[in-house]
């Protein structure tokens, strides 16, 4: 599904990822954990194609394609979804209209028939229940006036509607109360299947209690320095990141 090899990438000429290698198989849930500044968000942004984030060497193969060669919209149409750390407010762009346009451009690309307004609404209503978003939100402008938690739930709602093959969650859990966290986790769990892969990027272990990953990786100074099963997350929660940083330093 996703094969990242020796990826070096950064922004404004500053290298942040320094040789990251990661393999995510179909149907797997991977968690990437790491201290602030380790390159977690850079990884998410490079994968989604955010402008200004530049890969200088290495490769990212997704579904057999060179992901880095595709513009952001092509990546989305190929099934990559990034749940943003800071979802932007877009006044004047209606939530439901926007999402229908997005879904149909993805469906069109994948050779599927576009949904009409009725079919789309039916789908949207069903997914809204999943994230416990009120229907009133749908007729507002994208994220405008939403609370932090509502924005994150809107991301998960969009993810549920767009049904991506690879979902990347960039600190979707930060700033959420326990109820919102549970809702986000349920949204991701509902997506979980043999066909969907998920990359959960997080600073804390909290979300991983509800969303049990198959693999946990620790990112430090732009590289994966340790990988393991779900128990690694618990260990990190108890011991913090310092012991890993010490281990890495000692190995140098």
Partner 1 sequence: MSSVLEERLIEPRHIDGEPDRVRRIRTQAAERFNALGWPTTRLEEWKYTSLASVAGIDWKTSQRLPDDKSYESPFGDKPVAELMFINGALYANRATLANEHPGIRIVPMREAMENESFAQHFSRYADYEKHALTALNTARWQDGAFIEIAPGTVVEGFIHIFYLGGAKDERLVSHYRNLIVAGRGSQITGVESFFGKGTYFTNTVTEVVAGDGAVVDHYKFENESVEAFHIGTVQIHQERSSSVTSRTIAIGGGLVRNEINVALTGEGASLSMEGLFVLSGKQHVDNHTVIDHVAPHCDSVELFKGILDENARGIFDGRIIVEPDAVKTSSRQTNRNLLLSETAVVDSKPSLEIHNDDVKCNHGSTIGQLDEEALFYLRARGIGEEDARNLLVYAFASEIVERMKIDVVRESVARALRQQGLGMRDEGGKR
Among 64, 88, 177, 251, binds partner 1 (CB under 8 A): 88
Give least dist CB 197 to partner 1, A: 17
Strand 29-33 relative to strand 65-66, pairing: unpaired
Among 21, 25, 37, 91, binds partner 1 (CB under 8 A): 91
Secondary structure in 3-state letters for 61-107: EECCEEHHHCCHHHHHHCCEEEECCCCCCEEEEEHHHHHHHHHHHHH
Interface with partner 1 includes 141 (CB under 8 A)?
Answer: yes
Nearer to partner 1, 184 or 220 (CB): 184
Q: Which of 143, 209, 134 is nearest to 173 (CA)?
A: 209
Handedness of CA 73, 153, 120, 1 (dihedral sign): positive
How far apart, in Å, are the Cα atoms of 164 and each of 59, 160, 219?
21, 8, 24
Q: Decide: 22 and 2 in contact? Cβ < 8 Å.
A: yes
Positions in 97-126 near partner 1 (CB under 8 A): 97-99, 101-103, 105-106, 109
Per-position x/- string for 68-87, each x denoting binding to partner 1 as judged by CB under 8 A, each - no binding:
---xxx-xxx---xx-x--x
Residue 98 CB partners (closer than 8 Å, separation 6+): 90, 142
Give least dist CB 141 to partner 1, A: 8
Give least dist CB 227 to partner 1, A: 27
Give least dist CB 239 to partner 1, A: 35
Interface residues with partner 1 (CB under 8 A) are 48-51, 71-73, 75-77, 81-82, 84, 87-88, 90-94, 97-99, 101-103, 105-106, 109, 139, 141-142, 158, 162
């Amino acid at each position: 599904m996703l094969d990242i090899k020796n990826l070096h990438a950064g922004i404004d000429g500053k290298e942040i990822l320094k040789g990251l290698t990661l393999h995510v198989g179909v149907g797997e849930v991977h968690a990437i954990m790491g201290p602030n500044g380790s390159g977690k968000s850079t990884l998410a942004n490079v994968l989604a194609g955010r402008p200004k984030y530049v890969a200088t060497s290495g490769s990212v193969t997704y579904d057999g394609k060179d992901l880095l060669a595709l513009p952001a919209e092509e990546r989305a149409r190929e099934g990559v979804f990034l749940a943003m750390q800071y979802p932007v407010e877009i006044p004047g762009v209606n939530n439901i209209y926007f999402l229908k346009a997005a879904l149909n451009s993805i469906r069109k690309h994948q050779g599927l028939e576009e949904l009409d307004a009725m079919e789309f609404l039916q789908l949207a209503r069903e997914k809204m229940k999943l994230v416990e978003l009120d229907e009133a939100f749908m007729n507002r402008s994208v994220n405008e006036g939403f609370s932090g938690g509502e924005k994150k739930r809107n991301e998960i709602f969009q993810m549920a509607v767009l049904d991506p093959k690879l979902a990347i969650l960039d600190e979707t859990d930060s700033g959420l109360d326990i109820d919102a966290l549970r809702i986000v986790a349920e949204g991701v769990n509902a997506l979980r299947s043999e066909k969907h892969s998920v990359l959960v990027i997080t600073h804390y272990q909290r979300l991983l209690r509800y969303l049990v990953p198959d693999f946990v990786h620790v990112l430090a100074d732009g590289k994966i320095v340790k990988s393991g099963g779900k128990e690694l997350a618990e260990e990190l929660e108890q011991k913090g990141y310092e012991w890993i940083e010490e281990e890495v330093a000692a190995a140098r």
